[in-house]
Amino acid sequence: MSKKEKDGYVKKETLMVVVFVALAVGFLGGVFYSAYTSAPGKDAPPSGHSRASNAQSSGISELEKETALHPDNVAAWVQLGNLYFDANQVDKAIAAYKRSLALVPGNADVLTDLGVMYRRKGQHGEAIKAFDRAILVNPRQEAAYFNKGVVFLHDLNERENAVKAWEELLRVNPMAKVRSGELVMEFVENIKAKKTP
- Distance CA(107)–CA(137), nearest Å, equals 7
Q: What's the domain count of the chain?
A: 2
Range of the domain at 98: 46-105
Indicate if 154 and 186 belong to the same structural domain.
Answer: yes
**C-alpha to C-alpha distance for 17 and 47, rounded to whole angstroms:** 34
**CATH number, domain at 79?**
1.25.40.10
Instruction: For residue 182, give the nearest of 19, 53, 36, 48 by alpha carbon.
Output: 36
How many Å apart are CA 64 and CA 56, to the nearest integer? 12
Q: What residues are paired with 177 via a beta bridge?
A: 183
For residues 14 and 10, give the distance between their C-alpha atoms in angstroms, rounded to a whole number. 7
Q: What's the pLDDT at 12?
A: 56
Among the listed ranges 53-62, 113-122, 131-140, 164-173, which one has the minimum average pLDDT value? 53-62
Alpha carbons 49 and 128: distance in angstroms, whole number? 24
Residue 79, Cα to own-chain centre: how many angstroms? 14
C-alpha span between 25 and 47 (Å, rounded):
24
3-class secondary-structure state, position 177: strand
Say whether both 18 and 89 belong to one domain: no
Asked if 96 and 37 sit in the same domain, the reply is: no
pLDDT digits (tens, 9 = 90+) for 116-130: 999 999 999 999 999
Name the residue among 82, 130, 72, 76 with its Cα closest to residue 103: 72
Kindly report, residue by residue over 1-52, the tens digit of the pLDDT: 444 444 545 455 654 544 444 444 454 455 554 544 444 433 333 333 334 4
Q: Which of 30, 31, 33, 85 is nearest to 63 (CA)?
A: 85
User: Of the candidates 145, 123, 121, which has an alpha carbon nearest to the alpha carbon of residue 133?
Assistant: 145
Do 89 and 178 have their domain in common? no
| Residues 92, 25 share a domain | no
**Is residue 6 one of the residues assigned to a domain?**
no
pTM exceeds 0.85, yes or no: no
* Residues 127, 194 within the same domain: yes
Same domain, 33 and 126: yes
Show Cβ contacts of residue 43 under 8 Å, excluding neighbours closer than 6 positions: 37
In a domain, 171, yes or no: yes
